[in-house]
Structure 1
């Protein structure tokens, strides 16, 4: 590798490890650069972190900056959509935020508290509200089922169908940013996945819409997840690295980006 290329890589990696605000902008810029003209981006996350909502906020700001419409689709129940719409149209005061949190979704305290409910997610919704208040064409959509007593495949089918309907309503110059768990965001399941985990992920059912799938990783940190029980789980520390672009036909993601660090979200008690 030429000396100037090594220097450029070193500089970029140092930026990735810089302040949180700069890291948000850097990772968002990487995603925008590689996503190009794609209008349906699925961002596969580890649930329950503080950093992912900040990154998504940056993406909503960037994509809506020139006046283009942006729909932010969150893995929240569809039954939340009236409350979400009311909040985005409100002045964001205490009563408006309290009204947003009146549903059972935001008050879960049992073993289903899987990290999607946090003050950080509420701050992301508030950021969209502020952008709209300042004239941006932005909205928030919940696309998850309101309840599920079926299989994982039934749920992934329902998620994909709802996003397909929403995408059809998207203006021709608009972008839909979908935040999802990283399994839902897969274009293809791993070939060596256990037989009971061979269902078609949500994003794999949207490839005809030219979906662009991004996996969010991190160099270090921890996130909140529910396996046998809900708890903070650590990531295996690794060296900082540049984005990985994949083009194989059976690829799981189009792009993987590494944030400097993730930490457990500010969960509700």
Structure 2
């Protein structure tokens, strides 16, 4: 199944669609553009790829994806493979990570995103793609906030390694918040980055579905309409009581199933 999906996606992998309002993201002082998503939709990875496409015209770009850092060698090999067939084989054979243990990050849409990034890197060799989710073991007595600290540290290190690049980050919306989540006593990853260098966008819920796993089963689950269903694109205006600098409105979403059954 994964080989068929990969072949189908390659046909249009370098096609980019402008995202309304995205020009507000390319301020010279902005080092990090963070997209906080609900995993498992078709629309968010596609829109994120379009943002990466637009960012290339503004200067060097590093793309940071919420994959385990242990996946980096495979990701490097996938991006650098001599042929599309070799890249497909690497990902299909990889025995770990979200393409095996499903939480929405191993979806068909995420696979399409990787293929589009691979095509973009052929056009723009300076484009880098990194996996930044920590493999740090959980230690009793140390909360989720320590994991978030490690995640923020890895993003900061990526910025230091490419000081002339803008980082575009795709991550779950909990990690993308710019203030402490009091109800959970949680300090999100993005809090640890210099606030004035970060634009964090929340992918607002406008109805539709996402693919996720509950207590009993995995599948398409409905999302509520909590934002103007007609709105589209980037809106840079504080959202969530200051937790985000703006929103990314993509309309009602569709669930994206796992790329590997």
TM-score bin, normalised by smaller chain: 0.7 to 0.9
Instruction: Tell me the residue number matched to 2:155.
Output: 163
Aligned to 1:202: 189
Aligned-residue offset at 1:207: 2.8
Coordinate RMSD, CA, aligned:
2.5
Separation in 2, partners of 1:224, 1:266: 6
For 2:105, the equivalent position in structure 1 comes to 116
Paired positions, count: 236
For the Cα contact (< 8 Å) 2:21–2:235, is it kept in 1? no
CA–CA distance in structure 1, aligned partners of residues 178 and 53 of structure 2: 26
The residue correspondences of 1:57-96 to structure 2 (distance < 5 A) are 57-65=49-57, 68-96=59-87
1:65 counterpart SS class: helix
- Structure 1 residue 232 corresponds to structure 2 residue 220: yes
Q: Structure 1 regions of 5+ residues with no counterpart?
A: 1-23
CA-CA distance at 1:135 after TM superposition: 3.5
Supply the distance in 1 between the matched residues of 2:68 and 2:126 (Cα, whole angstroms). 22
Query: What residue is the counterpart of 1:30 in the other structure?
Result: 21
Structure 2 CA distance, aligned partners of 1:83 and 1:262? 30
Matched residue, 2:208:
221
Query: Secondary structure of 1:214's partner?
Result: strand
State the partner residue of 1:39.
31
Aligned 8 A contact 2:98 2:105 in 1: no
SS of equivalent residue, structure 2 residue 97: helix
Q: C-alpha separation between the residues in 2 aligned to 1:263 and 1:107?
A: 19
CA–CA distance in structure 1, aligned partners of residues 95 and 130 of structure 2: 16
Decide whether aligned partners of structure 1 residues 176 and 92 sit closer, same or farther in structure 2, where only a CA change above 3 A counts. Answer: farther
- TM-score computed with the length of structure 2 as normaliser: 0.80
Give the TM-score of the pair, scaled to structure 1: 0.78
Q: Distance in 1 between matches of 2:257 and 2:212?
A: 13
Distance 1:34 1:139 in 2: 19
Write the distance in 2 (CA, Å) between the matches of 1:123 and 1:35: 24
Are 1:80 and 1:103, in contact at CA under 8 Å, matched by a contact in 2? no
Deviates more, 1:179-188 or 1:231-240: 231-240
Change (3 A) 1:130 1:187: same
For the 8 Å contact 2:238–2:246, the answer to whether it is kept is no
Whichever of the two has the greater Rg, that structure is 1
**2-side partners of 1:252 and 1:69: how far apart?**
27
Any conservation in 2 of the 1:39–1:176 contact (CA below 8 Å)? yes
The answer to whether 1:48 aligns with 2:40 is yes
Aligned to 1:175: 166
